Amino acid sequence: MTAFILIGSFGLALLLIGLLLGDHLDGVFDALHLDAAAGILSTPVIGAFFAAFGFGGAMALSRPELGTGPASAVGLGAGLALGSLTAVFMRSVMRMSTDVTPRTADLVGKTGVVLTRVPAGGLGEVRVAHLGQQLKLAARCDEPVPAGTTVVVVAVASATAVVVTPAGF
């Protein structure tokens, strides 16, 4: 039983190290060129397999009618089941799509609201909604624009400043 508990503890330790070090430990498996099955030899999968194998085998061995051979088979089944489930989960997490990163260059044509009055040729402040985010930017306009006015972004002056014109709705 001690061997099974040590194997299970090794699996838990591997999971903990993988949690703390992240993808750095996965580079070991990449360097060995063993990962031909896209994620099967990742740290979470190997850790889950060893933890389930060790603790599953120890639980099976605690039954008086089971010997080391059947307990090893139970542990192997538990390890394969949990390792496979972890591999499927990790593969779906790695393939998950992410949202588009907002860029100020995409603001041209967007409407916004003036927060701080924009003097003619000077800087004011506008709020523009873009990809579900409220962006607060410096704004410049050729004519004075009072606060609360709806404006359209006609150009991007910098990463934090835009050129606007009053919306003609």
Q: What are the boundaries of each domain within the chain?
A: 2-94, 104-166
| The overall pTM is greater than 0.85 | no
Own/partner pairs, 18-21, CB within 8 angstroms, 24+ separation = 18/43, 18/44, 18/47
Tens of pLDDT along 88-140? 888 888 788 877 776 778 899 999 999 999 999 899 999 998 888 889 999 99
Average pLDDT rounded to a whole number, residues 74-89: 93
- CATH class of the structural domain 104-166: mainly beta
Residues forming a β-bridge with 128? 112, 135
* pLDDT confidence bin for 23, thresholds 50/70/90: low
In contact, 113 and 150? CB cutoff 8 Å = yes
- For residue 10, the model assigns a pLDDT of 94
Please name which of 56, 24, 57 lies closest in space to residue 43, comparing C-alpha atoms: 24
